């Protein structure tokens, strides 16, 4: 049996406030009032090829987020003040998969780390894939209440009919629960709450190295090493505890750390550079 492989799928760029990347004092308004923008950060999805087929972790962003006035609700201050997208139509998931020689229709399974726009924005490119999400994340994201929380659920494609992950009491290192995504358990979801209350990550157990496809656990690896929660996590203590567990897992089962928005993720993947290695 071949070990699973991971390939980056970059669907354009986003920039956020520095107060979002590293939490600062100031309460929930910190990302709106901060005048300090990050550099342009990649929006990554990850394509996992395993014995059973192709599995995609996240779907990236749509160009509509960058080009269509009113795509996000104007009444929501976060979209008006705290986030900026640079996504062209050719950056979207479908064209980027084809660039890798993959027909989007071949992607059988999608797992969403969470339901924010830059992770669910490419769903329309994989309408026939089986989509896994966390049930509680979906409950927070759906409907108008979800839109108030910053999930543009009105933009989900009509095809979006996710299946809820069945968490098991099967520990992965310090993480008490997990949900296998392949029959052989080489690809497994683990709960990594913080950025959102029910955020998840995907651990790929490769041959010589594992990979943690970490969504928005942190914007980059250094922030995870420093254990600093982001500025939008509803509960900083929960986010801090997840970062601690990521560090513990790295010490026992080394992995290449691949969050969605780290400009260095692709280089680390190419070099198989493990979490904490320079």
Q: Min. distance of Cβ 110 from Zn ion in angstroms?
A: 16
Rounded Cα distance, 96 and 90, in Å: 7
Cβ nearer to Zn ion, comparing 41 with 187: 41
Cβ nearer to Zn ion, comparing 92 with 216: 216
216 binds Zn ion (CB under 5 A): yes
Q: Min. distance of Cβ 209 from Zn ion in angstroms?
A: 26
Q: Min. distance of Cβ 150 from Zn ion in angstroms?
A: 9
Q: Min. distance of Cβ 116 from Zn ion in angstroms?
A: 3
Cβ nearer to Zn ion, comparing 64 with 114: 114
Cβ atoms of 36 and 19 closer than 8 Å: yes
CA distances for 58 relative to 47, 191, 225, angstroms: 9, 15, 23
Cβ nearer to Zn ion, comparing 4 with 42: 42
Q: Which stretch, 12-20, 111-119, 139-147, 248-256, contacts Zn ion (CB under 5 A)?
A: 111-119
Residue whose C-beta lies closest to Zn ion = 116
44 binds Zn ion (CB under 5 A): no
For residue 247 the two structure tokens come to 């560090």
Q: Min. distance of Cβ 41 from Zn ion in angstroms?
A: 12
Q: Which stretch, 25-33, 69-77, 98-106, 211-219, contacts Zn ion (CB under 5 A)?
A: 211-219
Quick one: which H or E segment has residue 54? strand 53-57
Residue count, binding to Zn ion (CB under 5 A)? 2
Q: Which of 17, 44, 64, 116 binds Zn ion (CB under 5 A)?
A: 116
Taking CB atoms within 8 Å and a gap of at least 24, the contacts of 77-84 are 77/32, 78/31, 78/32, 78/150, 81/31, 81/32, 82/16, 82/17, 82/20, 82/31, 82/32, 82/34, 83/14, 83/15, 83/16, 84/14, 84/15, 84/16, 84/37
Give the bridge partners for 131, in sequence order. Answer: 110
| CA torsion through residues 139, 261, 55, 239, sign | negative
Q: Min. distance of Cβ 196 from Zn ion in angstroms?
A: 7
Cβ nearer to Zn ion, comparing 216 with 221: 216
Cβ nearer to Zn ion, comparing 134 with 216: 216
| CA torsion through residues 17, 23, 26, 28, sign | positive
Contact residues: Zn ion, CB under 5 A: 116, 216
């Amino acid at each position: 049996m071949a070990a699973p492989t991971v390939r980056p799928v970059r669907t354009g760029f986003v920039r956020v406030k520095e107060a979002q990347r590293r939490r600062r004092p100031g309460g929930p308004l910190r990302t709106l009032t901060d005048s300090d923008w990050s550099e342009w950060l990649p929006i990554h999805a990850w394509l996992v090829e395993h014995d059973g087929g192709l599995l995609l972790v996240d779907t990236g962003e749509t160009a509509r987020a960058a080009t269509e006035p009113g795509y996000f609700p104007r009444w929501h201050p976060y979209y008006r003040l705290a986030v900026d997208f640079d996504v062209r139509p050719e950056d979207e998931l479908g064209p980027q998969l084809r660039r890798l020689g993959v027909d989007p229709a071949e992607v059988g399974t999608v797992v969403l780390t969470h339901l924010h726009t830059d992770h669910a924005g490419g769903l329309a490119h994989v309408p026939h894939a089986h989509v896994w999400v966390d049930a509680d994340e979906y409950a927070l994201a759906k409907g108008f209440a979800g839109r108030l929380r910053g999930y543009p659920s009105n933009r989900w494609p009509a095809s979006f009919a996710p299946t809820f992950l069945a968490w098991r009491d099967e520990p992965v290192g310090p993480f008490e629960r997990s949900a296998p995504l392949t029959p052989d358990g080489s690809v497994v979801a683990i709960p990594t709450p913080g950025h959102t209350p029910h955020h998840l990550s995907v651990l790929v157990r490769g041959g010589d190295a594992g990979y943690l496809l970490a969504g928005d656990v942190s914007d980059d690896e250094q922030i995870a090493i420093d254990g600093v929660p982001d500025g939008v996590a509803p509960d900083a203590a929960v986010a801090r505890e997840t970062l601690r567990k990521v560090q513990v897992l790295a010490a026992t089962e080394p992995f290449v750390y691949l969050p969605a928005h780290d400009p260095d993720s692709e280089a680390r993947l190419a070099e198989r550079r493990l979490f904490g290695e320079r």
